[in-house]
Amino acid sequence: MKALRAALWLIEDVALPYHRRHVARAALTLLGVAIGCAIVVAVELLNRSVVGSFRETVETIAGSADLQVTNPGAGVPEVLLEAIPEIPGITSAAGLLQATLPTPRGELTIFGVDVFGDQVVRARQFPPEAVTIPDEFAFTNALDSVALSTALLERWDLAPEAAIEVAAPAGRRVLRVRGTVEPRGPAALYDGAVALLDLPAAQQLLGRVGLLDQIDIVLAEDAEPVVVRAALERVVAGRARVHAPRERATGLDGMLLNLRTFLSLVSLEAIVVGIFLVHHALATAIAHRRRELAICRAVGFAPRALALAVALEALAFGLVGAVVGCGLGVGLAELALDAVRGAVGAIYARSGAGSLELGVRQVMLALLLGVGTALAAAVAPARSAARVPVLRHLRRDDGDGREGAPRLRAMVVAGAALIGLGTAGFFIEYRSTSALVHLFLMAVPAALLALGFALIVPAALAGFVALLRKLVGERAPITVQLALESLARDPVRRRGPLTPMLVAFALVLLGASMVASLRASILGWVERTLAADLYVVAGPSLPLPSGETFPAALEARVVPIDGVAKVAASRLVYTQLGERTVVLRSLRGRLPFDGLDYPVREALPDAAESFARGEAVLVSDDLAHREGLRAGDTIELATASGPRRFTVGALVVDFTLDVGTITLEEATYRRFWKDDLANVLYVWTESGVAVPAVRRAIEQALEPVAKTSILTAGQFERDVSGALDGALRLTWAIELVALGIALIGVVNFFLVEVSDRRREMGLLRAVAFGPRALGRSLLTEAALLGLLGGLLGVAYGGLVSWLVVSRSARLVSGWSLDFVFPLGLAATTVVVATVAAVLAAGFPVRRASARAVAELVSME
């Protein structure tokens, strides 16, 4: 209690006046904590919002359904609708088909339901009182009838019977407005851009005759859900999945694992950045206040009171930073929400507008992080405050006070041990679907490595100086010799700016290396496997399982075009492998082995033949790694014709999506999944023909029947590259912040360093050195420190990057990435570190060099 009282007094009378004198530095510290907390809060809010709005969307569309039968992407056979209502305990079952189609005025989400049929399920989805259809007969008889939400009708300024052109999978179609729906329930989703179609019309429009996206089921009040579910599963017989509406959001949670891990990694980087900022600020403050602390110790303040005061100071920074971070986090999430929801919607699943509400959980998380970050950063400064050498700072000379010689050898041994331990940590084999576990198992070994490098920094500095001395000998100018002498004098103390520099530069290199490795691996794969000359896709963007489609029959229109050698349609859908949602892709014949050249990791001897016969499938290496699958294993997939078992013919490298991909022969897919749509046509041209001419001919042939885009291999690669760059932009932003922190650290160090050595500088000035020579010597010292910091950053960054890319990426995503180290950036890092250190030292050095000798000698 006494120590607490003394610590509070120290804060009030010593720390606060100090921060009032250094407002900019205090603000920067607060900003550091706030940014760290803000990114974590924003990621948490975005994640909750996306998953929450997806869950809300699923439940809104499900209406009063107790159970659902779904088969993502591939579809549920409509025939099940006849058998399901017969199951005891089921009151009602209704099918639904959903798709989002482009129109000239924007996107329109189509709901295909039995408008005038079953009303038990529909009463909660599209209640009769909310649907106005003046002529029911005309509506059901004409397949182009649509009931538009009143909100959209008003927004688009449409009259009854107005025409809306949509780009449907079956080609361009014109729909007629023959009814309205009030924006309630599903009709209020997607900003009201919703249209209701009768189910058969929707099936026709979407090219999915005989298929449904889901069957919504309402149970009788006295029904036993477990019993009904079991009976339902027997009837469905593996042709789809049976689940409660809420369980679908859990599936999305699993699909977003890599995204969440990536965003969490970004948060972690932000936290590390925050720790550095707080650490710098406190360490600098303690260094500036050493004399005051020494006085306090001399007159009887206990070391723990001093340490407690520093900890409380950090706590205050943490708390205020966390509160500011909460506000910033909401702002950041607001800014990023549309982009993240758009990306998740495009790749995984669309959802309605989510809300960003700051809850107790986020506030607690921010406080915990802010306080934790600040306290972690305060450990070393608090220790240093408690151990401040009293007489050294209170006497005019250093007298007999000597500090023990640094135990460089012990530090090197401990550092090497930690580096070994950290490296070994990356080789721990585990399987987890928790982003937190992945983060923990990446962060702990990385932290051990950082600690190990920090411990060997003084020895590296001593070795570096010894090497330079050997190289330049006595030929070097006196200013350089003086700089080397100064660096050699106390390598433990000089590590001040080196540790944060090496960690910050390593973060930059880690991010760059991850991006470079990911880009090289994916683009290399794209270049190797997408060997066709042209790609016909349904939408303006890359083909994705949740993306736009066209009838596979379009292939027949392309085949006869002059110059076309070969055409192959391919379908991408989501399907279930056990509890995991994965991508299912169809490819014709021996295409993966002959035409597209998929890199094979492991294969059965007759893999190509088995695949072409439709007996074997190809499983992506990442999925096989996560599921523990090997070539020769058997997997079961839910098809529209019931469950089907396939042999795993080969494990191949496939970067289509991070959820993993199963590739199946085209005809087999069409047969079992009863699906006639395609996402892409691969087109090979005859040798010697002009590809642009063939492209124009294909455009002309398809223009009247479908909305398609035709990409060349180069355009396809550029699109992939652009999509990757967009996804990785956030990493670069964080890296820039990390770099800024490193530079702030260097400036802080030299401010304190120069201030501490004024007396030494005065003595040097007094004996021989002019201000310029002295300045040159100090700047040389700074340059050498920067150079070494950069080199150590490259060494640490190189090791961590290699471990993260080759080990962690495999464990988190299952992907085997080719390690690419950005050598250019590494060289730039070393140069930037050196120049930054010189620039950082420039101001304090110039200021101190300009002082009068007598002033410098008398200053303490």
Partner 1 sequence: MQILSPEAKAAPLEARGLIKSYRLGSVETRALDGLDLRIEPREFVSVMGPSGSGKSTLLNLLVGLDRPSAGEVLVEGVPLSTLDEDGLTALRRTRVGVVFQAFNLLPGLAAQENVELPLRAAGASRREATERARAMLVAVGLGERLRHRPDELSGGQAQRVAIARALVIEPAIVVADEPTGSLDSESGTGVLRLLRRLNEEQGVAILMVTHAPAAAAHADRIVTMCDGRVVSEDRPRATPSVAMRGLA
For residue 640, give both structure tokens: 């529209």
Report if residue 23 touches partner 1, rule: CB under 8 A.
no
Are 596 and 529 within 8 A, CB to CB?
yes
Q: What pairs with residue 536 in β-bridges?
A: 681, 710
Residue 310 beta carbon to partner 1: minimum distance, rounded to whole angstroms: 16
Q: In this chain, which stretch among 293-301, 310-318, 444-452, 804-812 interacts with partner 1, using CB under 8 A?
A: 293-301
Are 568 and 681 within 8 A, CB to CB?
yes
Phi-psi region of 614 (alpha: psi -120 to 50; beta: other; left: phi over 0): left
Residue 289 beta carbon to partner 1: minimum distance, rounded to whole angstroms: 10
CA atoms within 13 A on the CB side of 506: 29
Residue from 83, 138, 391, 556 in contact with partner 1 (CB under 8 A): 391
Exposed e or buried b per residue across 320-339, where buried means at least 16 C-beta atoms within 10 angstroms of its C-beta:
bbbbbbbebbbebbeebbee
Report if residue 825 touches partner 1, rule: CB under 8 A.
no
Q: In this chain, which stretch among 48-56, 289-297, 319-327, 493-501 interacts with partner 1, using CB under 8 A?
A: 289-297
Residue from 303, 463, 589, 842 in contact with partner 1 (CB under 8 A): 303
For residue 394, give both structure tokens: 């209170």
Are 809 and 829 within 8 A, CB to CB?
no
Report if residue 298 touches partner 1, rule: CB under 8 A.
yes
**Secondary element (H or E) of residue 263:** helix 257-288
Nearer to partner 1, 167 or 307 (CB): 307
Helices 729-756 and 713-727 sit at what angle, rounded to 10 degrees? 50
For residue 63, give both structure tokens: 């209406």
Report if residue 855 touches partner 1, rule: CB under 8 A.
no
Report if residue 1 touches partner 1, rule: CB under 8 A.
yes
Residue 304 beta carbon to partner 1: minimum distance, rounded to whole angstroms: 8
Residue 399 beta carbon to partner 1: minimum distance, rounded to whole angstroms: 3
Instruction: Tell me the backbone φ, ψ of residue 294, rounded to 5 degrees.
Output: -60, -40
Report if residue 295 touches partner 1, rule: CB under 8 A.
yes
Strand-pair category, 600-603 with 642-652: antiparallel
Residue 22 beta carbon to partner 1: minimum distance, rounded to whole angstroms: 13
The contact pattern for partner 1, residues 50-69, with x = CB under 8 A and - = no contact, is: --------------------
Residue 246 beta carbon to partner 1: minimum distance, rounded to whole angstroms: 58
Instruction: Tell me the backbone φ, ψ of residue 20, rounded to 5 degrees.
Output: -65, -30
Report if residue 488 touches partner 1, rule: CB under 8 A.
no
Report if residue 405 touches partner 1, rule: CB under 8 A.
yes
Place of tokens 């103390």: 493
Q: In this chain, which stretch among 30-38, 298-306, 501-509, 583-591 interacts with partner 1, using CB under 8 A?
A: 298-306
Nearer to partner 1, 55 or 758 (CB): 758
Cα torsion 593, 629, 642, 196 to 10°: value is -80
Nearer to partner 1, 17 or 477 (CB): 17
Report if residue 408 touches partner 1, rule: CB under 8 A.
no
Strand-pair category, 580-587 with 634-639: unpaired
Residue from 31, 143, 235, 302 in contact with partner 1 (CB under 8 A): 302
Q: What pairs with residue 637 in β-bridges?
A: 644
Report if residue 294 touches partner 1, rule: CB under 8 A.
yes
For residue 629, give both structure tokens: 């699958």
**Secondary element (H or E) of residue 642:** strand 642-652
Report if residue 305 touches partner 1, rule: CB under 8 A.
yes
For residue 277, give both structure tokens: 């900022």
Closest CA to 256 of 152, 349, 183: 349
Residue from 88, 401, 477, 824 in contact with partner 1 (CB under 8 A): 401
Nearer to partner 1, 1 or 471 (CB): 1
Nearer to partner 1, 23 or 405 (CB): 405
Q: Distance between CA 183 and CA 195 in Å, rounded?
A: 10
Are 461 and 495 within 8 A, CB to CB?
yes
Residue 3 beta carbon to partner 1: minimum distance, rounded to whole angstroms: 9
Residue 436 beta carbon to partner 1: minimum distance, rounded to whole angstroms: 40
Q: In this chain, which stretch among 357-365, 390-398, 675-683, 737-745 interacts with partner 1, using CB under 8 A?
A: 390-398
Instruction: Tell me the backbone φ, ψ of residue 163, rounded to 5 degrees.
Output: -100, 140
Q: In this chain, which stretch among 236-244, 287-295, 800-808, 834-842 interacts with partner 1, using CB under 8 A?
A: 287-295
**3-class DSSP state of 100:** strand
Report if residue 699 touches partner 1, rule: CB under 8 A.
no
Distance, C-alpha 850 to centroid of its chain = 50
Nearer to partner 1, 159 or 405 (CB): 405
Report if residue 300 touches partner 1, rule: CB under 8 A.
yes
Report if residue 857 touches partner 1, rule: CB under 8 A.
no
Nearer to partner 1, 18 or 156 (CB): 18
Report if residue 390 touches partner 1, rule: CB under 8 A.
yes
Report if residue 99 touches partner 1, rule: CB under 8 A.
no
Nearer to partner 1, 401 or 578 (CB): 401
Report if residue 308 touches partner 1, rule: CB under 8 A.
no
**Secondary element (H or E) of residue 255:** helix 245-255
Residue from 129, 396, 560, 628 in contact with partner 1 (CB under 8 A): 396
Report if residue 14 touches partner 1, rule: CB under 8 A.
yes
Q: In this chain, which stretch among 400-408, 468-476, 716-724, 727-735 interacts with partner 1, using CB under 8 A?
A: 400-408
Report if residue 395 touches partner 1, rule: CB under 8 A.
yes
Are 754 and 778 within 8 A, CB to CB?
yes
Residue from 122, 178, 239, 297 in contact with partner 1 (CB under 8 A): 297
What is residue 709's DSSP assignment? E
**Secondary element (H or E) of residue 329:** helix 303-347
Residue 463 beta carbon to partner 1: minimum distance, rounded to whole angstroms: 18
Q: Distance between CA 411 and CA 393 in Å, rounded?
A: 26
Angle 276-277-278 from CA coordinates, rounded to 5°: 95
Nearer to partner 1, 613 or 759 (CB): 759
Q: In this chain, which stretch among 299-307, 417-425, 429-437, 622-630 interacts with partner 1, using CB under 8 A?
A: 299-307
Q: Distance between CA 618 and CA 219 in Å, rounded?
A: 40
Question: Which residues form the interface with partner 1 (CB under 8 A)?
Answer: 1-2, 5-6, 9, 13-14, 17-18, 291-292, 294-305, 390-391, 394-396, 399-402, 404-405, 860
